[in-house]
Amino acid sequence: MTNQYTASATALVAALGLMAGPAAAQDVSVSTQRMTMETANKAAVAAVKACREEGVQVAATVVDRWGDPQAVVRDTLAMDLTLAISEKKAYTAVQFNTATSNMEGNFEGNYSVPKYEKLVIAAGGVPINAGGNMYGGIGVSGAPSGKLDEECAAAGAEAVTEDLEFGGM
């Protein structure tokens, strides 16, 4: 009888070992794609230039996929306030992975999401996505309308999309 239990226990240990084997061989980390400093700066400069072509001085902030600032550009006459707002628009776009204009009017009430101090629910922020990856977000502030802020942010994102999709080739 002891041999039967020993054989069963040995079989059970062997079965558990086989089950753990493939799990142990699986990846335990996740690789993420990141923009280089040069790419983030290219997006920010392109956004500011797009607004400049419309006769408007703005600030543009590019954040990485976690919402941390990676590049900030403020045109010569853009107000200081535009820096904080552009960062919050970029942060909001990356956190929700959507253009901030898509969120306007969606949150109401005393305890709504926009009460979080890092968020700004106003047009002017867009995510930077390419090749199925989220790279970050870009926010623009300083134009007379959020619509123009967002058009300039989109121009910044578009300026780097091809580079990100094809790895700079």
Number of domains the chain contains: 1
- Give me the amino acid identity at 43: A
Please indicate, yes or no, if residue 32 is contained in any of the structural domains.
no
> Has residue 119 been placed in a domain?
yes
pLDDT in tens, 65-111: 999 999 999 999 999 999 999 999 999 999 999 999 999 888 777 66
Residue 12, in any domain of the structure = no
Residue 135: pLDDT band with limits 50, 70, 90? very high
Band the pLDDT of 26: cuts 50, 70, 90. Answer: confident
Structure confidence by residue, pLDDT tens digits, 145-166: 999 999 999 999 999 999 999 8
The alpha-helical segments, DSSP class H, found in 26-133 are 37-53, 81-96
- Which among 22-26, 119-123, 150-154 has the top mean pLDDT? 150-154
Is residue 11 included in any domain, yes or no?
Answer: no
- Here the CATH number for the domain that contains residue 148 is 3.30.450.150
Query: H/E element holding 25?
Result: helix 2-25
Report the alpha-carbon distance of residue 50 to residue 124 in Å, rounded: 13
Long-range contacts of 15-22 (CB under 8 A, 24+ apart): none
What pLDDT was estimated at residue 140? 98
Are residues 97 and 121 in contact, defined by beta-carbon separation less than 8 angstroms? no
Residue whose entry in the numeric block shows the structure tokens 């709504």? 112
Domain of residue 140 covers 37-166
pLDDT surpassing 90 at residue 32? no
Place of tokens 């753990």: 20
Place of tokens 């558990």: 16
Query: Quick one: pLDDT at residue 25?
Result: 63
Does 19 have pLDDT greater than 70?
A: no
